[in-house]
Amino acid sequence: MPETSQHAQNPREGMMATLSKEQIGRVLAKQGILIAFAIFLVAFTIANPKFLSVDNVFSVVRSSAILGVMALGVTFVVISGNLDLSVGSMMSFSTIVVLDLHDTLGPLLAIPAMFAMTMALGALIGFLVGYLRLNSLIVTLGMLSAIHGLTLTYSGGQNMDIADKEGTWFGVFGQGSALGIPVPILIFALLAALLGLVLGKTPFGRKIYAVGGNGTAATFSGIRRARTVFSCYLISSACVATAGLMQASRSLGSQNTVGQGLELEVLAAVILGGASLMGGSGTIFKTVIGVLILGFIQNGLLLLGLQFYVQFVVTWVIIILAVWLDIAAKRGKLWSPIA
Amino acid sequence: MNIRTMLAASTAILLAGAASADTMKIGITQNNVGVDSYQTTYEKAFIAAADANADIEAVVLDAGGDVARQIAQMEDLIQQEVDAIIIWPTNGEAVIPAVRKAQKAGIPVVVTNSNIAEAGFDFIKSFSGPDNITQGARSAEIMCDKFKDMGIADEAQVVHITGQPGYTTAIERAKGFEDRLPEVCPNVTIVDTQPGDWNREKSQQVMEAFLVKYDDIDGVYAGDDNMGVGALNAAKAAGRDGIIFVGATNFAVGYEAMAAGDYWGSIYQSPVDDAEAALQTAVDILSGKDIPFLNYFDTPKITQDNMDEFTKPVF
């Protein structure tokens, strides 16, 4: 280990001769995760040149877009100092509901109806966590299985498929493309830009950081914490509904379990991006990087053709490496034992 | 026929007579009804078959995928002194002690759909379900026959998308396919194998990566149609035509894709047959009939050529 750390430190020492030490430090501290991301991209591309081909990049970002949209919403919840473990089964719910309503109400009504139902679930969670001040882990862990049950009850356990797959325009959100860019990527990018502005540039965004960073101080500053937390869950559920729409549109049919397990992947992406589980820190931009890292790791390992049992392990190793690089950049040193 | 078998036979007839005098009480504890269409349809078919037979009183339970609950349900059924228990194991290992308890209480146990681990074989009367190794082998034959028709049996390249790693069904189908393909089509190569986790979306992502990695893919074998259709969606989106898709457990989506000419073939496995076979196996045991330990029901090949002979799956 000490050998590795010295090895990694040497190039940095060399660069510092030309630029001021402080400048480099500041850039590294801010963009550690971005640097880690760049390293992975280069490494995977050396292993398989097709990795950074336009087709592959588009297909990875498109696949990641669904997870990504969910992660945008969860970023709000996490920054406000709470958790949302219900997003996976909530996504299954919205996917199944919109597919079913597509055939009964028609796509134009199905979409707003599904958004209303999904956001009602988000409002319920927001109410329980914000106004009844119940622990968000317990509330959303419970909702994880409650919503799963709701989905199964709704569908009677059956797969949901759109009857007339050729004759509907509904596929546009998942399969279409505009200006040569797949629509899911556009949705992801637009939502990221919008929510990034809300979080970074508005008073509402600053309130979320305040509530998550120091709740008591936020209260003394006149911030209505319950309302802020409630809004975060509402935003999260709206993002989940969007993800469900993209998912349903992409395959025009779905299993009840389509979102199962995504809650942990979403959380991993958010944390990987550098948001603190304790709340008060994180940005939309870094969440996007976290999402892309996860997406590119998965794809890169497939292209490498590693045996899949090994992939679970390698994925973990890469994530740890990324987190370590990020933390090391913030602290300005690679080796920092608990003292 | 020697004296011992004659004795056994006459005892069986006596027992059968005694059993049919009053109703047979058959309990079933299922794996996880409602989690997928197959299991949902299975339960409906089981109840319908039990209702259709006036001599059967069925106790239908569901473990919800929870091993602990299934063990508790086994104990309940033993307490109720049912005549036979059918179990769809939530876990092939963990349920063995409960199965043993039933056997000790003199209640015959039939395992349905997915077998328990070999350590438990002494405690059960029969396994009723699909033969997944044969299914995998048949999928290999379907694919090979098609390659021969197309004249590419000497050069074709195949990718393989498996079910969830560690699942018996996934392992057995993969083994059946990978063992049989080189026997029937020795020059076809399987260039890559990755899991699709029984999940359409995951399978689509895996296929997208395959399409980037390999410029030439002639065939895709997926462990079930759900994943097969996911792979098909990926190929369609990438504009790659002419790939032969073969799956297993024919789903409605697979059947439709076959009808549309996009998907070549699959294995027809009906949850209705599965449920009825399990019930019949239990009834046969209680009636004293001789049944094989591995009591497979037939799962035939289905392709675009013969799909008219089959009704569209309900799941």
pLDDT at B35 over 80: no
Q: How confident is the model at residue A315 (pLDDT cuts 50, 70, 90)?
A: confident
| Contact (CB<8Å) A59/B212 | yes
The residue ranges of every structural domain in chain B are 3-130+272-297, 132-268
Which pLDDT does position B118 carry in this prediction?
Answer: 87
Closest Cβ opposite residue A309 in set B165, B201, B237: B165
Q: Which amino acid is at A109?
A: L
**CA atoms B67, A309, A318, A250: torsion sign:** negative
Which pLDDT does position A260 carry in this prediction?
Answer: 87
| Contact (CB<8Å) A251/B204 | yes
pLDDT at A9 over 70: no
Supply the angle between the helices A203-213 and A183-201 in degrees, to the nearest 10.
70
Q: How many CB pairs under 8 A join A and B?
A: 86
How far is the CA of B36 from the CAs of A157, B86, B222, B241, B294, in angstroms? 5, 20, 18, 30, 25
What is the rounded average pLDDT for all residues in chain A? 88
φ, ψ of residue B61 in degrees (nearest 5)? -125, 160
The residue ranges of every structural domain in chain A are 54-292
Contacts of A175 (CB under 8 A, 6+ apart): A182, A183, A249, A250, B237
Q: Which residue of A lies nearest to B206 if distances are taken between CA atoms?
A: A302
**Tokens representing B159?**
């990718």
Count Cβ atoms below 10 Å from residue A8 Cβ, excluding itself: 12
Mean pLDDT within A154-167: 84
Q: Express as a percent the part of chain B with pLDDT over 70.
A: 93
Q: Over the stretch B49-87, which tens digit does the pLDDT of each residue have?
A: 999 999 999 999 999 888 899 999 999 999 999 999 999
Q: How confident is the model at residue B307 (pLDDT cuts 50, 70, 90)?
A: very high
Mean pLDDT within B23-27: 93
Residue numbers in A near B230 (CB within 8 A): 251
Which pLDDT does position A6 carry in this prediction?
Answer: 41
Residue numbers in A near B213 (CB within 8 A): 48, 50, 302-303, 305
Q: How confident is the model at residue A35 (pLDDT cuts 50, 70, 90)?
A: confident
Residue numbers in A near B69 (CB within 8 A): none
pLDDT at B221 over 90: yes
| Contact (CB<8Å) B35/A257 | yes
pLDDT at A50 over 80: yes
**Tokens representing A335?**
């080796």
Q: Does B258 touch chain A (CB under 8 A)?
A: no
Q: Does B263 touch chain A (CB under 8 A)?
A: no
Closest by CA to A221, choosing from A201, A203, A195, is A203
pLDDT at A302 over 90: no
**What is the maximum alpha-carbon separation in chain A?**
68
Closest by CA to A125, choosing from A208, A234, A225, is A234
Smallest Cα distance from B53 to chain A, Å:
26
Q: Which residue has the higher pLDDT, B8 or B116?
A: B116
Q: How confident is the model at residue B2 (pLDDT cuts 50, 70, 90)?
A: low
Which pLDDT does position B198 carry in this prediction?
Answer: 86
Q: Which residue of B lies nearest to A59 if distances are taken between CA atoms?
A: B208
What is the enclosing helix (H) or strand (E) of B97?
helix B96-104
Interface of B with A in 191-230 (CB under 8 A): 192-195, 199-201, 204-206, 208-210, 212-213, 226, 229-230
Closest Cβ opposite residue B39 in set A56, A157, A305: A157
C-alpha gyration radius of chain B: 22
pTM, 2 dp? 0.78
Residue B266 pairs in a beta bridge with B302
Residue numbers in B near A56 (CB within 8 A): 209, 212
Same fold, B3-130+272-297 and B132-268: yes
Which pLDDT does position A4 carry in this prediction?
Answer: 40
**Tokens representing B236?**
């369609």
What is the rounded average pLDDT for all residues in chain B? 90
How far is the CA of B1 from the CAs of B10, B284, B291, in angstroms? 12, 22, 18
The per-residue DSSP string of A237-259 comes to HHHHHHHHHHHHHHHSEE-TTTT
Q: How confident is the model at residue B220 (pLDDT cuts 50, 70, 90)?
A: very high
Q: Over the stretch B235-269, which tens digit does the pLDDT of each residue have?
A: 998 899 999 999 998 988 999 999 999 999 999 99
Mean pLDDT within A277-295: 92
Q: Which residue has the higher pLDDT, A199 or B115?
A: A199
- Measured CA to CA, the distance from residue A49 to residue A91 in angstroms comes to 35
Q: Does B163 touch chain A (CB under 8 A)?
A: no
Mean pLDDT within A311-329: 82
What is the enclosing helix (H) or strand (E) of B202?
helix B200-213
Give the three-class secondary structure for A112.
helix
Q: Which residue of A lies nearest to B214 if distances are taken between CA atoms?
A: A303
Q: Over the stretch A211-240, which tens digit does the pLDDT of each residue have?
A: 999 989 999 999 999 999 999 999 999 999
Does CATH place domain B3-130+272-297 in 3.40.50.2300? Answer: yes
Give the three-class secondary structure for B161.
strand
**Tokens representing B47?**
């109840």
Query: Which range is least confidently modeled, A76-85, A96-105, A267-276?
Result: A267-276
Which pLDDT does position A54 carry in this prediction?
Answer: 87
Among 3.10.250.10, 3.40.605.10, 3.40.50.2300, 3.40.1360.10, name the CATH number for the domain at B132-268.
Answer: 3.40.50.2300
**Tokens representing A236?**
């999260």
Distance from CA of residue A36 to its chain's centroid? 18
Mean pLDDT within A86-107: 95
